[in-house]
Amino acid sequence: MYSQKALPLASLMALSTLGCNAATDANDVKYEATIESLQQYECADWFRDAKFGIYLHWGAYSVAEQGEWYARRLYDENRPEYKHHVETYGHPSEFGYKDFIPMWTAENFDPDALLALFKEAGAKYFTPCAVHHDNFDLWDSKYQEWNSVNMGPKKDLIGMWKEATHRAGLRFGVTTHLSRSYSWLNTANQSDTKGPKAGVPYDGAAGEGKGLYPTNDGQSTHPRAPFDPPKVWRDNWVKRVQQLVEDYEPDHLYFDCAVPFRGSDEGQAGMDVISHFYNNRPEGVMCIKERPWQGLYADGIATLDFERGKAASILDKPWQTDDSIGSWGYNPSKPYMTPGLVVDKLIDIVSKNGNMLLNIPIKADGTLDAEATALLQDVGKWFEVNGEAIYGTRPWYMYGEGKNEIGHHDLESSMTARDFRYTTKGEVLYAFVLDWPTAKKKPVEFPNLVKMNTRITEVASVELLGHDGELKWENHDDGLHVTFPKKKPCDYAYALKITFKK
């Protein structure tokens, strides 16, 4: 549970004030669309300090309440979504994905109310999906007529999100999932291979939905990033994402992939967009995934993102986890995480120098369900007590102690009172105990907080955040012993604020 570099606490604190000085230095850098030039990138301090953001997937697929991949899967005769679609809406030759767009009106969308909730939950940035694999832009797109201003809600959703985000005092970002659409949505250009409708073309194959469904150029229908998509497709992708950057000025841009595209382009289109973003947004934070099977990946050209995963140890550079409380797109059949698991995941991520971008499924009408709303409120109550141990912190030399790990798809936390995570700020060390101790009067023991640890000095004070009374603690040769009070200060993980003698 150690980072590769072990330094005294004071040295670690000094380093933490240096951080990634993009806000100071980035204005002097002009980026070119090359790996070498993009490796000048440094993550902005606002992002390092923020730690927690909210994310959401919203589109015409939300109408069906079957998740964000419904646009593709309704055309796959071997999938349960296809069966549901035929039974509920009709065969894909008669009712295709395009036909959901008029049904998606976002009639109850109140971005200010939602941003107030996200802020209450403790988020410091908001990064909605601006275009998913379904090739439908949620902004006033100059290069894609299939967009939310022309059709469906007939609103500039990204513009409305941006204004509400800024009014709430949060940083604004966008995610783009467009690069895979050329093959991902090519399923609409097929027909059944069996049954009574065998050979009957789906709506895309019948020539409907031109511009929404990709042209059928003989490419595969593989869900991964397409190999060697034509230049006209790559150029359109570049124009759309660059317009999104220029017109909506996001502080955070995230590709749901490595750097597009695979094949002869060798990532050049993606590097064009990334350099354009850095040059237009000096404090901008770019996130990509280490997925060479999706495109180019090179260390240092952007901030690393883990989907539903996390780093195993402290990373030298800031990073991000994108995760969801349930399905990415709204699907009430998929259960949600508990608030306690959200909190434990967040702490684990922050202890390793990461941020959590948490997806909240949103309904087609623009509202959240009661369970999601309550979860966000519960997380917000936890932040009210413990926020100082998260925001603006940096990792210690070790991220924590304990044997338990959180799985990618867990719904409840397996962490115990013997699982600890650490963060630092100034001269303070925060130690999170990830469950309330149940043994009466038995202290929690921190074996690494001991005189023999040359990275620290003797403990001078210990406080429990949210607890007003005195706290019993003792320095022992086998570590710091802390006896917790009878009453919990909050419902989930518990933060000790520890200072050391000078």
pLDDT digit string (tens) for 216-233? 999 999 998 899 999 999
Residue 93 in contact with residue 195, Cβ under 8 Å? Answer: no
pLDDT of residue 386: 98
Q: How many CB atoms lie within 10 A of CB 308?
A: 14
- Burial environment of residue 135 by CB neighbours within 10 A (0 to 12, 13 to 18, 19 or more): buried
pLDDT band at 5 (very low <50, low <70, confident <90, very high): very low
d(CA 236, CA 238): 5
Q: What is the pLDDT of residues 173-202, one digit of tens each?
A: 999 999 999 999 999 999 999 999 999 999
23 within domain boundaries: no
Residue 42 in contact with residue 26, Cβ under 8 Å? Answer: yes
14: CB partners within 8 A, 6+ apart: none
d(CA 124, CA 169): 8
Residue 480 in contact with residue 462, Cβ under 8 Å? Answer: yes
Q: How many CB atoms lie within 10 A of CB 51?
A: 26
pLDDT of residue 164: 98
134: CB partners within 8 A, 6+ apart: 59, 60, 61, 71, 72, 97, 181, 185, 212
- pTM, rounded to two decimals: 0.94
pLDDT of residue 20: 41
pLDDT of residue 213 exceeding 80: yes
pLDDT of residue 18 exceeding 80: no
pLDDT of residue 240: 98
Helix/strand/coil for 12: helix
How many Cα atoms occupy the beta-carbon half-sphere of 58 within 13 Å? 29
How far CA 122 is from CA of 318, 319, 328, 343, 378, in Å, comes to: 19, 19, 20, 11, 10
pLDDT of residue 23 exceeding 80: no
pLDDT of residue 227: 92
57 within domain boundaries: yes
d(CA 289, CA 305): 5
Kindly report whether the peptide bond that precedes residue 261 is cis, defined as omega within 30 degrees of 0: yes
d(CA 381, CA 464): 16
d(CA 174, CA 245): 9
Q: What is the pLDDT of residues 309-353, one digit of tens each?
A: 999 999 999 999 999 999 999 999 999 999 999 999 999 999 999
3-state secondary structure string across 220-239: CCCCCCCECCCHHHHHHHHH
Q: How many domains does the chain have?
A: 1
126 within domain boundaries: yes
Tokens of 220: 């595969």
CATH no. for residue 57?
A: 3.20.20.80
Residue burial 216-233, b: 16+ Cβ < 10 Å; e: rest: eeebebeeebbeebeeeb
Q: What is the pLDDT of residues 457-478, one digit of tens each?
A: 999 999 999 999 899 999 999 9
How many Cα atoms occupy the beta-carbon half-sphere of 494 within 13 Å? 23
423 within domain boundaries: no
pLDDT of residue 283 exceeding 90: yes
For the segment 55-69, the average pLDDT, to the nearest whole number, is: 98
Q: Average pLDDT of the chain? A: 94
pLDDT of residue 26: 59
210 within domain boundaries: yes
The beta strands (E) that lie in 290-339 are given as 303-307, 319-324
pLDDT of residue 225: 87
Partners of 319 in beta bridges: 304, 354
pLDDT band at 440 (very low <50, low <70, confident <90, very high): confident
pLDDT of residue 433 exceeding 70: yes
Q: Give the full edge-to-edge strand order of the sheet including 479-483.
A: 444-446, 479-483, 472-476
496: CB partners within 8 A, 6+ apart: 430, 431, 432, 433, 462, 463, 464, 465, 482
pLDDT of residue 434 exceeding 60: yes
d(CA 76, CA 84): 11
429 within domain boundaries: no
36 within domain boundaries: no
pLDDT of residue 9: 54
16 within domain boundaries: no
Range of the domain at 86: 50-307
Cα 214–chain centre separation: 27
